[in-house]
Amino acid sequence: MARVWLNSETFGHGIAVAPISAWLLWRDRDRWLRALPGVSAWGLILVLPGAGAWLVAELAGVRVVAQYGLLSLSLGLVWCALGTAVIRRMVFPLAFLLFMVPAGESLNAPLMEATATATIAALRAVGLPVFREGMLFTLPTGNWSVVEACSGLRYVLAASMLGALFAWLNFQAWQRRLVFFVAAIVLALVANWARAWLVVMIGHLSHMRYGTGEDHVWYGWAFFGVVMAGLFWMGGRWRDLPSDPAPDQEISGITIAAHGAGGQATGGMVVPAVAKGPSGIGEAAVSLAFALLLLLIAVLPWLQAHLTEVEPRKGFEARVWNALGIPIQDVFTKGPLAAPPQIVGARAIVQGSLELSEPVGMRIEFANAYFADQTEGHEMIATGNHPFPDRRVSGWSVVRAGKMGSAETGLSHAVREHLLARGSERRLVWSWYSIGGRTAASEVEGKAMTAWSLLQGQGDHACMLVIGVALELTDQRKADQAGLTQAREHLARLGRRLPCD
């Protein structure tokens, strides 16, 4: 998690979460120090699922789930050791630690779609003509695209953390806290749409001299700061005044009142209760249970390391070319691709093109990457691996992406389809994963299959397969349905023959 915080602008706020949580605990120490500590088995509802989630997520290489599992495991142990009475007074500071986990990247795609839709609607509302194709849109003064940095995820994550903290410190009722928290997230989304519209307007009105480089990043954070300051100012106007609870409600003890004649109370004092822990067999049972629990946790890393110890297979490239063969009418060739996928950490990779005899000159590119012993840096489903080239280097952008079922592809399995654009060029790309003889079109399915294969003792041998073809354009902007259908038929022709280890 720390590596992500230090190297990602999106999750940089995570480095401040633990210090803030510690400050909140110290700030409220008078409340939880008065509570009576004691062991509690209720903590197991966090410990056991957290341990299981950590193990499965480590096998599948899903860092986010593993980190949530580790956090659940840790908080559950605190609950077991200190008891429910103490934890009840620490709920928010401990729950605030959830913001440490760098999660939310799966929201980028829907947030990008929402940002593009809102921005284009706002541009048309002020009378500007806009042509849209996926995440790309064109104005009379230039071309724009919505990328991951424009999705608004940074706004949403920062606003959710700040909104939760502000709500806890300034409101007493949970209803008010929830309303403010939701309002902060909604305002962050709307603010990102407004920011995107303002950046495009600045670029349009300046004839693309401003707002097209790093300056629009500074505009964005300055705008976010103003929006959050306004939200906090409004929230401060309706903040609740703090109220101190009565002593006998706050202290876990025994209230003794002195009564005078006639039964009237004349005075009183609070005597803290003395904790009476388990004794004899009960104390031994508690000690044994905690020892077994800690042993289980200690065994988890060994079990994970044992299951993930896999020996990569040799001769992958030769097996792929032998399985493909060289038919008389078609010719397979090795060499560079026009739109090479981003593949990092593969144990072996075979890539090339199939030149079809009909239609003459039609070339279908393919890449088949083999992964095994998927330790860090050699994972198939990872941030650096994509079925399309890096936009910053190649100029190719993803216009549209979606899942295609077997009925639509003509294959025995589903695929992930991407439409790429570079200037007036368009390419159609299919990709899928093969793990242990089973196929998956999505990253979630692929991760689940990898974990299941490892749990069965079959290793994590897997392949990432990518095939792509150029599209014929009818109006220099997009291919018609007939062109898409023909391109899919050509991709299916190769997809049925492309093997995986």
Q: Where are the alpha helices (DSSP H) in 139-254?
A: 153-170, 174-205, 215-237, 247-250
Q: How many Cβ atoms are within 10 Å of 322's Cβ, its own excluded? A: 10
Sign of CA dihedral 275, 279, 282, 283: positive
First to last CA, the chain: 33
Helix 443-455 with 44-60: angle, nearest 10 deg: 100
pLDDT value for 263: 42
Residue 297 CA to its chain's centroid (Å): 26
H or E stretch at 135? none
Buried/exposed 254-267: b ≥16 CB within 10 Å, e otherwise:
eeeeeeeeeeeeee
270 DSSP β-pair partners: 255
- Torsion angle of the four alpha carbons 29, 35, 36, 39, in this order, in degrees rounded to the nearest 10: -70
Closest CA to 120 of 107, 109, 133, 110: 133
Q: What is the DSSP string of 388-401?
A: S--HHHH--EEEEE
Q: Are 55 and 304 in contact (CB under 8 A)?
A: yes
pLDDT value for 302: 84
Annotate 441-467 with three-state secondary structure.
Answer: CCHHHHHHHHHHHHHCCCCCCEEEEEE
3-state secondary structure of 231: helix
Structure token digits, residue 87:
């934890």
Q: Are 354 and 363 in contact (CB under 8 A)?
A: yes
CA atoms within 13 A on the CB side of 261: 0
- pLDDT, tens digit only, all 501 positions of the chain: 999 999 888 898 899 999 999 999 999 888 888 888 878 888 889 988 999 899 888 888 888 999 999 999 999 989 988 888 899 999 999 999 999 999 988 888 889 989 999 999 999 999 888 888 778 888 888 888 887 778 889 889 999 999 999 999 999 888 899 999 999 999 999 999 998 888 888 888 887 777 666 666 677 778 888 888 888 898 888 887 665 444 444 444 433 344 444 444 444 444 344 444 444 455 666 677 777 778 878 888 888 888 878 888 888 888 888 777 655 456 677 777 888 899 998 998 888 888 776 666 678 889 999 998 888 888 898 888 999 988 877 888 888 888 888 888 888 889 999 988 887 788 899 999 999 888 999 888 999 898 888 888 888 899 999 999 888 766 545 556 777 888 888 888 888 877 765
3-state secondary structure of 25: helix
pTM over 0.85: no
270 φ, ψ to 5°?
A: -110, 125
